[in-house]
Amino acid sequence: MFTSLSDRLTETFKGLRGKGKLSESDVNKALRDIRLALLDADVALPVVRAFIGQVRERALGAEVSQALNPAQQVVKIVNEELVGILGGETRTVRYAKTPPTVIMLAGLQGSGKTTFAGKLGYWLKEQGHTPLLVAADLQRPSAVTQLEVTGQRAGVPVFAPERGNVGGHDAVLGTGEGTRSFGDPVAVSRAGIAEARAKQYDVVIVDTAGRLAVDEDLMQQAADIRAAIQPDEVLFVIDAMIGQAAVETALAFQQGVDFTGVVLSKLDGDARGGAALSVATVTGRPIMFSSVGEQTKDLEVFHPDRMAGRILDMGDVLTLIEQAEKAFDREQADEMARKFLAEEDFTFDDFLQQMAAIKKMGSLKSMLKMMPGMQQMRAQLDALDEREFDRVEAMVRSMTPYERTHPKQIDGSRRARIARGSGVTVSEVNQLLERFREAQKMMKSLARGGGGGLPGMPGI
């Protein structure tokens, strides 16, 4: 995905590197290359035009940053504009105030709808929800079976019409893959939602029928279901591999059923990326998820900024950071919560542990420096003085285990010993103890029910 587009953009930026100042012709040449790269990636022409126009205006305009050289400046602008055409902000499911939240799926047959239903169910479960899948794709009997299998794999219950009650056992057994519907999808959707209410499932995912090409019957059916069940979200699933046809299909669905969000499926394939880069802009609807494989777990929340980062070949640094933070935060929060409850003191060992975590973040500095649009984060990281950390660590390590847990007992002679052991002055040890006392006080007040979250690094 995006490989060829990425390569070509990287190549274009390389051509700008080393120039002290960019002339209008430098910019124009780069823009020509970017334009061709986007068109070759199947991005819709109006989107390409608007994109290039924006980048040109900003690149030639007065937008100058002291921190960046001209080539970086262009990368930054292209990155920001890419984030823009991918939809700007990250947006996921909006839940109803009173459950169940109803999510309806729409899309062409083969777009990956049923597979996505399972993935979404699994994802919702991971988020602590209790989803129910509803099989309202009654065009093909096998679609119901497929959803049942998908649900089973995802560990999510499926509500399906009782064959024989809702529209005819015969059709299921008889005509196989015929085009004849064997039940009323509106009735099944309604019954599914009633079932969710009765059994307290908090999210209902309604899978609807798709056809091989957009047709009026299909649209009408989806529109009828929408009107009847008033879903909180209508997600339009689109196969990223369909290239230029993506825009036309998306617009047809928008007109016929309308939707609140887009799901890009098969992003793991070697699609050129045009669909992803066109659909949000053309429809004005956010891309909410991307499906990246055939397994239940292969679903990602779509982050326009990270996707832009990927396209510009800067790696998915943000995802890495988020994962590292998640792991770290959970463990530390648990540990701290235990301490608070037990009314234990915040010790120098805890102090050291927090510092190690922050130092780990510091080593990401060099990676972040390569990324455009990260100025703020960069400034914060720059403010961390690693040598200061090292000094503090040396002092703590020169303390005995008893001293670390009983800092009040660290008297004059102990202070002198710690200073000698860590190669700092006694006054630096005094300062550390003073700051530590402050941190301890803060922890205490938090433990007594002060404001919410944990402080990052007390005293530093």
Stretch that binds ligand GDP, among 37-45, 107-115, 192-200, 350-358 (CB under 6 A): 107-115
Report if residue 293 touches ligand GDP, rule: CB under 6 A: yes
Report if residue 214 touches ligand GDP, rule: CB under 6 A: no
Tell me: is residue 111 an annotated ligand-binding position: yes
Tell me: is residue 211 an annotated ligand-binding position: yes
Tell me: is residue 209 an annotated ligand-binding position: yes
Report if residue 140 touches ligand GDP, rule: CB under 6 A: no
Q: Total number of residues binding ligand GDP (CB under 6 A)?
A: 18
Q: Distance between CA atoms of 45 and 248, rounded to whole angstroms?
A: 12
Tell me: is residue 151 an annotated ligand-binding position: no
Q: Closest approach of Cβ 199 to ligand GDP, in Å?
A: 25
Nearer to ligand GDP, 71 or 134 (CB): 134
Report if residue 231 touches ligand GDP, rule: CB under 6 A: no
Tell me: is residue 130 an annotated ligand-binding position: no
Q: What's the distance, Cα to Cα, between the start and end of the chain in Å?
A: 44
Query: Which distant-in-sequence residues (6+ apart) come within 8 Å of 98 by Cβ?
Result: none
Report if residue 145 touches ligand GDP, rule: CB under 6 A: no
Tell me: is residue 110 an annotated ligand-binding position: yes
Q: Closest approach of Cβ 119 to ligand GDP, in Å?
A: 8
Stretch that binds ligand GDP, among 166-174, 221-229, 285-293, 323-331 (CB under 6 A): 285-293
Tell me: is residue 276 an annotated ligand-binding position: no
Nearer to ligand GDP, 295 or 409 (CB): 295
Select from 25, 33, 28, 27 the least CA-distant residue to 5. 33
8 Å CB contact between 214 and 253: yes
8 Å CB contact between 231 and 157: no
Report if residue 111 touches ligand GDP, rule: CB under 6 A: yes
Q: Distance between CA atoms of 435 and 439, rounded to whole angstroms?
A: 6
Select from 326, 329, 309 the least CA-distant residue to 318. 309
Question: In the numeric block, which tokens belong to residue 437?
Answer: 């006392």
Report if residue 157 touches ligand GDP, rule: CB under 6 A: no
Q: How many helices (H) and strands (E) does the chain have?
A: 20, 8
Stretch that binds ligand GDP, among 79-87, 106-114, 425-433, 448-456 (CB under 6 A): 106-114
Q: Distance between CA atoms of 51 and 45, rounded to whole angstroms?
A: 10
8 Å CB contact between 41 and 273: yes
Residue 414 half-sphere exposure toward CB, CA atoms < 13 A: 17
Residues 250-279 that bind ligand GDP (CB under 6 A): 265-266, 268-269
Which residue among 54, 72, 92, 109 contacts ligand GDP (CB under 6 A)?
109
Tell me: is residue 459 an annotated ligand-binding position: no
8 Å CB contact between 277 and 1: no
**Helix pair angle (304-311, 3-16), 10° resolution:** 70
Tell me: is residue 207 an annotated ligand-binding position: yes
Nearer to ligand GDP, 100 or 107 (CB): 107
Burial code (b: 16+ CB inside 10 Å, e: under 16) for 413-450 equals ebbebbbeebebeeebbeebbeebeebbeebeebbeee
Stretch that binds ligand GDP, among 44-52, 92-100, 289-297, 370-378 (CB under 6 A): 289-297
Binding residues for GTP: 107-114, 207-211, 265-268
Binding residues for ligand GDP (CB under 6 A): 107, 109-115, 210, 265-266, 268-269, 291-294, 298
Binding residues: 107-114, 207-211, 265-268
